[in-house]
Structures are given as C-alpha cells and as structure tokens.
Amino acid sequence: MDDEVTKIGLSKGVLDHIVARHSEVKAYTNKIFETVQDPDILVKRVRGELKASRFYPDLHVGPKYLVVVYRELHEEKLIITAHFTPDAAKVKGGVIWRKLQ
C-alpha cells in the first residue's frame, strides 16, 4: 500500500483469541501480516478500526478472503481479530482504498 515502514502488532493473547474463535486461521497466521501489509481492499469502520481484506484462492478451506481488523496507534498497526469470509461484500464499512486490478 505505502512505502512507509510500519510495525504490525499481534500479541500472543490476541492470536490465541483469534484461533479460539476462528480455528481455520491457525494455519495462516503469516497471511495475517501479509493481508495488513498488502490488502486488496481497506475498509474503515464506524469506530475508526480498519479492515484489511485479501483474497486467497488456494487455501485448504477453499478460496476465501482473509479479513484482518486492526487499529492504528502512532506508527503501529495493532491487530484486533482476523477471520475468513467467502464473500467480500460481507466486509462492512466504507472502502477507503482498493488495489488496482
């Protein structure tokens, strides 16, 4: 998205929470970082959180979008949660950036 180096924060507690609620994400934790760094779509939620989503065609759960919700705090992107969805239209909020196809 941009050339600026930004730290991405994912604590063990948050990762444990994500895996407890969305166990299919466990095998793809590296893709959480990839999605935040290079999303297909970036959406802003009402309370200011951002949702980065990226399509992955070759997952063991089938082709899906990975949605990563995070907050920006100073120079850091703090991950709140992540999950898969089969439909990009289910990612609610105002689109603020979209990758050119």
pLDDT of residue 74: 86
The per-residue pLDDT for range 71-85, each reduced to its tens digit, is 998 889 999 999 999
> What is the domain partition of the chain in residue ranges?
7-88
Q: What is the DSSP letter of 47?
A: T
The pLDDT assigned to 2 comes to 52
> Roughly how many angstroms between the first and final C-alpha of the chain, as a whole number?
14
Q: In a 3-state reduction of DSSP, which class is residue 99?
A: coil
Residue-wise pLDDT tens digits, 25-70: 999 999 999 999 999 999 998 888 999 999 999 999 899 999 999 9
Q: Is the pLDDT of residue 3 over 50?
A: no
CB contact at 8 A, 32 and 82:
yes
Q: Check residue 43 and give its pLDDT.
A: 96
Which has the higher per-residue pLDDT, 40 or 101? 40
Q: Is the pTM of this model over 0.85?
A: yes
